[in-house]
């Protein structure tokens, strides 16, 4: 019975193979002499260098939000086993840590686009192989490709839409989609690498890199014919060398990087970041003329809310109601810190002046508070409306309830009358327009 079944399956397979192949399913349809195992393997190697960095920095930046503290710090409360990093204490040193990790994640993430397109071009003939799957191993490879190709484009374009302010979904939904999409993509990538890694190594060994990079267009020849479909059976004359094709892909990636990295490096380099919506504004030279993610108008902060009647409600073992004048009468300290945001941009260091968080914890009767909850007057964004900071962030001498910046009172857009500023912390967690601080023990 089994022999008959195997025979029937084999017969079906043969009949499928006999179906006439048309268009891109024909091997001679793809005529570029550059395609082959070596070219595909080289592009794979480049991606395997960059993608893990983007993935790891994404996870690191997730930890920076202190998701275990709950509330709006945890943007993916149903993460389950994927929350294995929860509870990791996010450090406050070096002060540029989040600026580095988030900037790297965003800049390399969008830099991937031309490399992914080049890799897709290199393997395009194999995507049209007929039959679509002729063995279990081949079927696994095809399934993994769905996750890899679909996943990486989903991650790149949702990220691009977010940093360019094309926010179709709210912040919470975006973060969930991007977080879970990341894991789906990585699962597919791991499966794909397990299946294809030996083939990649074999492809890289097939040609000498130095020799290939030294060949001109006239010297470029098709790779030897192999079992797969990457090498054309009817190659056209070369119009560019492999060196030239790699230079176009690499040069495109470096150009995108150069046009994006300025937003992370700060104001002196912002002229480079022509692809970044916040890099070129504001253009003034005043103490408050540095980038802002959300204006007071957009946050619907009314002047009367932050006028003379504004009070900071300080809650802990004791409760205090403090005016801005009360805060200015307390010992003030200065911290030189950047604001670095989820979109990858940074202001560079600004000189902030205000009351240390640990001094406010003492005033509230909780000098060893496990965490503090900041609450904002903002009503338009649930994520920005409140945030938690943990013990090490409260105790850092650079952590302030800022009242002034660069020698002047905070502007409305920068959080007047008071905002949090904590080293190495996501800008969105440095709550603006604070009206209440609650110190508490960490659960």
Looking up tokens 């399913």 gives 25
User: What is the C-alpha to C-alpha distance for residues 182 and 38, in angstroms, rounded to an integer?
Assistant: 28
> Per-residue DSSP letters for 231-243?
S-SSPPPPSS-HH
Distance CA 412, CA 313 (A): 19
- What phi and psi values does residue 346 have, to the nearest 5 degrees? -140, 150
Buried-state track 300-327, b at ≥16 Cβ within 10 A, e below 16: ebeeebbeeebebebbbeeebebebeeb
pTM for this structure? 0.89
Neighbouring residues of 217: CB distance < 8 A, sequence distance ≥ 6: 238, 239, 240, 241, 244
- Give me the residues of the chain with pLDDT under 70, please: 1-21, 167-170, 226-228, 267, 275, 277-284, 443
Superfamily of domain 303-440: Oxidoreductase, molybdopterin-binding domain (3.90.420.10)
Alpha helices, DSSP H, located in 266-373 = 324-329, 357-363
> What are residue 390's DSSP bridge partners?
371
**Residue in the block written with tokens 């790149």:** 156
Handedness of CA 316, 353, 413, 395 (dihedral sign): negative
Which residues are registered as beta bridge partners of 320?
314
Condensed to tens digits (0 to 9), the pLDDT of residues 182-205 reads 999 999 999 889 988 999 999 999
pLDDT of residue 435: 98
CB atoms within 10 A of CB 262: 22
Return the pLDDT at 26.
Answer: 83
Query: Which of 106, 38, 87 is CA-nearest to residue 342?
Result: 106
Sign of CA dihedral 246, 248, 254, 257: negative
Task: List every span in the chain annotated with CATH 3.90.420.10.
Answer: 303-440
In the chain, count of helices (H) and strands (E)? 11, 10
- Token pair 């504001």 is found at 282
């Amino acid at each position: 019975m089994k022999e008959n079944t195997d025979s029937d399956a084999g017969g079906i397979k043969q009949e499928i193979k006999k179906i006439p192949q048309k268009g891109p399913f024909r091997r001679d349809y793809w005529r570029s002499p550059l395609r082959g195992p070596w070219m595909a393997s080289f592009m794979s190697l480049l991606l395997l260098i960059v993608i893990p960095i983007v993935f790891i920095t994404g996870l690191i930046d997730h930890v920076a939000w202190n998701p275990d503290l709950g509330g709006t710090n945890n943007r993916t409360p149903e993460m389950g086993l994927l929350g294995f990093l929860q509870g990791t204490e996010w450090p406050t040193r070096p002060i540029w840590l989040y600026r580095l990790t988030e900037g790297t994640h965003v800049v390399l993430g969008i830099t991937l686009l031309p490399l992914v397109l080049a890799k897709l071009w290199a393997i395009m003939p194999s995507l049209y192989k007929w039959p679509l799957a002729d063995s279990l191993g081949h079927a696994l490879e095809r399934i993994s490709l769905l996750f890899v190709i679909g996943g990486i484009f989903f991650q790149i374009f949702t990220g691009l839409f977010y940093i360019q302010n094309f926010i179709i979904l709210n912040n919470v939904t975006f973060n969930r989609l991007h977080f879970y999409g990341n894991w789906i993509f990585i699962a597919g990538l791991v499966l794909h690498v397990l299946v294809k890694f030996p083939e990649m190594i074999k492809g890289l060994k097939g040609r000498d890199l130095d020799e290939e990079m030294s060949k001109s267009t006239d010297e470029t020849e098709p790779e030897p014919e192999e079992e797969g479909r990457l090498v054309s059976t009817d190659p056209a004359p070369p119009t560019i060398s492999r060196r030239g094709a790699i230079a176009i892909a690499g040069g495109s990636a470096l150009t995108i990087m150069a046009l994006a990295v300025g937003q992370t490096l700060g104001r002196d380099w912002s002229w480079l970041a022509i692809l970044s919506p916040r890099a070129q504004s504001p253009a003034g030279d005043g103490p408050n003329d540095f980038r802002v993610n959300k204006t007071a108008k957009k946050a619907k902060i009314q002047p009367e809310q932050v006028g003379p009647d504004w009070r900071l409600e300080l809650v802990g073992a004791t409760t205090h109601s403090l005016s801005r004048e009360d805060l200015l009468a307390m010992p003030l300290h200065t911290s030189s810190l950047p604001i670095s945001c989820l979109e990858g941009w940074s202001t560079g260091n600004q000189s902030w002046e205000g009351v240390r968080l640990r001094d406010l914890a003492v005033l509230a009767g909780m000098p060893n508070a496990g965490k503090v909850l900041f609450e904002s007057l903002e009503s338009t964004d649930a994520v920005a409306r409140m945030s938690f900071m943990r013990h090490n962030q409260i105790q850092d001498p650079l952590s302030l309830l800022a009242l002034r910046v660069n020698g002047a009172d905070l502007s409305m857009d920068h959080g007047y009358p008071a905002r949090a500023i904590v080293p190495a912390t996501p800008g969105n967690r440095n709550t603006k327009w604070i009206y209440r601080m609650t110190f508490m023990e960490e659960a």
